[in-house]
Structure 1
Amino acid sequence: MTSAPVLALRGVSKRFGAVQALTDVELEVHAGEVVALVGDNGAGKSTLVKTIAGVHPIDEGQIEWEGRPVSIHRPQDAQHLGVATVYQDLALCDNLDVVNNLFLGRELKRRGTLDEVAMEQKARELLSTLSIRIPSVRIPIASLSGGQRQVVAIARSLIGDPKVVILDEPTAALGVEQTAQVLDLVERLRERNLGVILISHNMADVRAVADTVAVLRLGKNNGTFPVQQTTQETIIAAITGATDNAVTRRAARTTEVAQ
């Protein structure tokens, strides 16, 4: 990709007291690109995402937005730039319906009162353009399946017209069909020319939708790989920090048996 990335991290470091969580991390996300951020537990993925989202301001380095340096000190700064984050807990209100969850904190008003008609219309349009199928936009969130809740949370992140969407383990604890529904939506985000950062432990999901895989290990970059030109074993070796691990040994045994 030759154009400037919509989001770039240059030598970003973050520490918490004596703990160095991130060290000189580099990351680029282009418009219309899905970047999978992978690594073992404790690799720094959550910390990195929270620096982009404004939860943990960086200590060193630079964040660039569309080629220019920017400062992100709080979540509002990230949102103002065009960063939307969907955390694993989704932060949905079970007692509210889909419409009111979509516009929570961004309610449309007319003459000082909530414009329920306008919000319902925009909700239907948004879900339709994303090919999201739910029984009704007026059904309580508590009545939806896990996959439906996830896609509603992702749809809500688009209300503010972001340019980068961060998805934190969006398919965790979902069944096969629900996972497919979420992955389809990730592809539609790319079709809308959004940059997507996908945090996932599921290599099948990563290989299904990601263009690039960025590996973190012990708070540092440990490789950036184009998905189509890279084997799963290579990526797992970068995650574990070893060329010889359980996955590569199993693959070798399988090859020997086949021969």
Structure 2
Amino acid sequence: MTDDTTTPHGAGAEGTPPAPDTPLVELRGAGKSYGNVRALHGVDLTVDAGRVTCVLGDNGAGKSTLIKIVSGLHRHTEGEFLVDGRPVRFATPRDALARGIATVYQDLATVPLMPVWRNFFLGSELTKGPWPLRRLDIARMKRTADRELRDMGIVLDDLEQPVGTLSGGQRQSVAIARAVHFGARVLILDEPTAALGVRQSGVVLKYIAAARDRGLGVVFITHNPHHAYMVGDHFSVLRLGTLELSADRGDVGLEELTDHMAGGAELAALKHELAQVRGVDARELPEEADLTAPWRRPRKAAPDPAPPSGGT
């Protein structure tokens, strides 16, 4: 990792702790280019402790590139990337982990046939005994995994069951608890509800809120504004690699957030173009607000009740 000085977690310049209001992670005008292709440009992002920052965008908006920069997989080519107020340039994801930045990807990096407790400590197994006779400390790993899962509100009947037998929401929850246990201060969740049903999505959202309540800074990557609005404290909407919207929860409503996600202006332009196509009656197309937020469409008035037959 390229850095000004080597400091412990949470230390600022010259080894001094950062100010209390210093963001855990901050991007200032950050961008990433692959040769002549600019994938991300001029993005500002702030991640504070005890807050959920939601990054929304459609496919190709730049969410994956943003994740790769913050998680240390790729280096930014423009702007600044700061951790605890200090500029950094991570060389590998291990550098990001060393600074308390953990990423939970959609594939969860689990081994389906291994028990839950083995997956919890995968790559960081506890051992006991003298070298060269050291062996896995299975009992301690089971106790630790069970305690950490329960602290997150996750109660599993059998830690010996293969993790592949858990539901999607449970597997996401195990991955979140694992990241918290191994010292994550910033937790990046890559589309954790994308392949889940309504109930399992609710389970994951509950544990996202639990991670926030434990003081972590959470980056929730999603294309679902409804899920984001349930737990989010700040919303950043990406479109074609640039920042479309950056607003706190109190400054934006769900409908406006959905409008930015759907691209209201682009849909209005599409309506104008369709009006030039033969056989398309533009008058029958919904207005801009209707395109961006279908629930805004006025309901048809109920017909007046028919008068009673033969009545007075």
Q: 1:157/1:246 Cα in 2 relative to 1: closer, same or farther (>3 Å)?
A: farther
CA contact (8 A) 2:225 2:261 kept: no
Q: Which residue of 2 aligns with 1:126?
A: 148
CA contact (8 A) 1:29 1:35 kept: yes
Q: Which residue of 1 aligns with 2:297?
A: 253
| Alignment pair present for 1:232 and 2:254 | yes
Q: Which residue of 2 aligns with 1:203?
A: 225
SS in structure 1 at match of 2:176: helix
Q: How does 1:17-166 map to 2 (within 5 A)?
A: 17-111=35-129, 112-166=134-188
CA contact (8 A) 2:212 2:218 kept: yes
Q: How does 1:177-216 map to 2 (within 5 A)?
A: 177-216=199-238
Instruction: Deviation per CA, 1:227-255: give whole Å up to 9, x if none.
Output: 24412232233234434365446344227
SS in structure 1 at match of 2:264: coil
Cα distance in structure 1, aligned partners of 2:294 and 2:198: 25
Q: Which residue of 2 aligns with 1:10?
A: 28
Deviation at 1:117, TM superposition (A): 1.0
Instruction: Deviation per CA, 1:186-208: give whole Å up to 9, x if none.
Output: 01100110000001122221111
Q: Which runs of 4+ in 1 moved over 2 A?
A: 236-258
Deviates more, 1:226-235 or 1:29-38: 226-235
TM-score by length of 1: 0.93
Cα distance in structure 1, aligned partners of 2:174 and 2:291: 35
Deviates more, 1:212-221 or 1:227-236: 227-236
Paired AA for residue 80 in structure 1: A
Instruction: Deviation per CA, 1:34-69: give whole Å up to 9, x if none.
Output: 011001110100100111111111112211111111
CA contact (8 A) 2:51 2:212 kept: yes
TM-score by length of 2: 0.78
CA contact (8 A) 2:57 2:261 kept: yes
Q: Which residue of 1 aligns with 2:279?
A: none
CA contact (8 A) 2:226 2:254 kept: no
**Structure 2, gaps ≥5 residues long:** 1-19, 266-287, 303-312
Instruction: Deviation per CA, 1:146-177: give whole Å up to 9, x if none.
Output: 11111112122223211100001111221222
Larger Rg: 2
CA contact (8 A) 2:244 2:260 kept: yes
Cα distance in structure 2, aligned partners of 1:77 and 1:257: 61
Deviates more, 1:174-183 or 1:234-243: 234-243
CA contact (8 A) 1:217 1:240 kept: no
CA contact (8 A) 2:56 2:237 kept: yes
Paired AA for residue 116 in structure 1: I
Q: 1:252/1:123 Cα in 2 relative to 1: closer, same or farther (>3 Å)?
A: closer
Instruction: Deviation per CA, 1:62-90: give whole Å up to 9, x if none.
Output: 11111111221211111111100000111
SS in structure 1 at match of 2:298: helix
Q: Over the residues paired in the alignment, what is the CA RMSD in angstroms?
A: 1.9
Percent identity of equivalent pairs: 42
CA contact (8 A) 1:99 1:138 kept: yes
Cα distance in structure 2, aligned partners of 1:232 and 1:60: 32
